[in-house]
Amino acid sequence: MAERTFSIIKPDATERNLTGKVNAVIEESGLRIVGQKRIRMSRAQAEKFYEVHKERPFYGELVDFMTSGPVVVQVLEGENAVARYREVMGATNPAQAADGTIRKLYAKSVGENSVHGSGSQDNAKIEIAQFFTDSEIVG
- Contacts with ligand CMP by CB under 6 A lie at 53, 58, 61-62, 92, 110-111, 113, 116
35/94 with CB nearer ligand CMP: 94
116, 117, 127, 132: which one is catalytic? 116
CB 92 within 8 A of CB 103: yes
Query: Rounded to an integer, what distance in angstroms lies between the CA atom of residue 129 and that of residue 89?
Result: 22
How far apart are alpha carbons 43 and 34 in whole angstroms?
26
Smallest separation (angstroms) from ligand CMP to the CB of 121: 16
53 catalytically annotated: no
126 vs 139 by CB, closer to ligand CMP? 126
Least distance (Å) between residue 92 CB and ligand CMP: 5
- Nearest distance in Å: CB 46, ligand CMP: 10
Q: In what order do the strands lie in the sheet with 115-117?
A: 32-39, 71-78, 3-9, 115-117
The DSSP symbol for 3 reads E
The catalytic residues are 116
